[in-house]
Amino acid sequence: MGYWEKRQQQLITAMEKDEAQLNRRLTETYEIEADRLEKHIAAYYMKYGKDEVIEYRDLLKALTPEEYSLLMRDMDEFAELYPQYEHLIPARKSAYIINRLEGLQISVRMQQLKIGALEQREVENHLNKIAERSYDAVLEKTGSVGEINPNIVKSVVNTNWTGKGTFSQSIWGNTQKLSNMMNTSISSAIARGDNYDSIVRKLRKEFMVGKKEAYRLIYTEGTFVMNEASAQAIEKMFDYYSVEPIRDGKACERCLSIASDTASKPVRYSDRVAGLNFPPFHPWCRCSTIIVIPDKQEWIERYVMTHGGDPQISNEQKEKARQVIKDFVA
């Protein structure tokens, strides 16, 4: 096993360790926020309900000045803490036209915005770390170690490789989707006359759907960032790659088929398209790539010329080229 093969396995292991830690932190956040929402809804049932049921018409009454003030304070605190997301805050309305149900729904929306802001920060830091680590893993063996260009890291992390949005757009899209789903559930449950236990069970289940979506995003985006950051460094030296499926025996038929196709017909790095011939190929994908040199002699001669030598007499440069091949090509 050469340097790069070992190094890739180390990169995957380190990434999965970081993912597990991030998943634990997000799980804790979701659990805390689910408990907080339950308490908030319990307060509504205690204040406006009877026999664990709230009359829908009672929630159509306007908020009291005190309730309105607390809601506005929550919005102001979010805007102060996350000014970059202030535009996501629901439009402010007069206290006289916000009813109790709308007040509860705005509170749910604000809670989801806070979770979204936390996810944005955590996931961005996580992906930046993967990109830097993966890019540097190539440079450290080629003698090009130095400060990594932050623009490269930013470009990789913020690539819209799915065609459906960047990781950040996905986070806020999921936040909006979950907020809407929960608010619809609250309105429908109260209109049906559901009791407190019934509504909080449903909301907690929806909360966990949000957490699962967050982890799926972290896992899949991590696969892309690791492979893309490595590729941007590798393509400066090598032209071709093939796909390497995950080695735990759980690779799907699609990934195995693509790996087989690219093994027989390697892909140019310049022709890579994530989701088509470059990983990831689907959510939860953990494929990687293998460097391929179709004509090693031609590559050695090109390496020597690129490094200022003569392919006919530069034996020292040829030996360096052979060592690079040994390090990076299985």
- Residue 94 has a CB neighbour count (10 Å cut-off) of 8
pLDDT at 246: 85
Look up residue 269 and give its two tokens. Answer: 């790095």
Question: What's the rounded Cα separation, in Å, for the pair 229 and 201?
Answer: 42
Task: Name the residue type at position 24.
Answer: R
Question: What's the rounded Cα separation, in Å, for the pair 181 and 174?
Answer: 10
pLDDT at 311: 61
Look up residue 66 and give its two tokens. Answer: 């005190």
- What's the pLDDT band for 21 if we cut at 50, 70, 90? very high
pLDDT at 2: 75
Question: What's the rounded Cα separation, in Å, for the pair 237 and 235?
Answer: 5
Contacts 24+ apart (CB under 8 A), 20-28: 22/122, 22/123, 22/126, 22/218, 23/215, 23/218, 25/122, 26/118, 26/119, 26/122, 26/211, 26/214, 26/215, 27/211
Contacts 24+ apart (CB under 8 A), 271-274: 272/231, 272/241, 274/159, 274/161, 274/162, 274/224, 274/227, 274/228
pLDDT at 218: 97
pLDDT tens for 70-124 read 999 999 999 999 999 999 998 877 756 789 999 999 999 999 999 999 999 999 9
Size (the chain), residues: 330
The answer to whether residue 145 scores a pLDDT higher than 60 is: no
Supply φ then ψ for residue 147, to 5 degrees.
Answer: -70, 125
For residue 71, give every residue at least 6 positions away whose Cβ sits within 8 Å of its Cβ, in sequence order, or none: 63, 98, 103, 106, 107
For residue 109, give every residue at least 6 positions away whose Cβ sits within 8 Å of its Cβ, in sequence order, or none: 90, 179, 183
pLDDT at 241: 96
Look up residue 148 and give its two tokens. Answer: 């990594």
Q: What is the mean pLDDT of the chain?
A: 90
Per-residue DSSP letter, 55: -
pLDDT tens for 47-72 read 888 877 888 888 899 888 888 999 99
- What's the pLDDT band for 256 if we cut at 50, 70, 90? very high
pLDDT at 53: 86
- What's the pLDDT band for 206 if we cut at 50, 70, 90? very high
- What's the pLDDT band for 319 if we cut at 50, 70, 90? confident
- What's the pLDDT band for 149 if we cut at 50, 70, 90? confident
Percent of the chain with pLDDT over 70: 95
All structural domains of the chain with their residue ranges: 3-231, 239-328
What pTM does this model have? Answer: 0.91
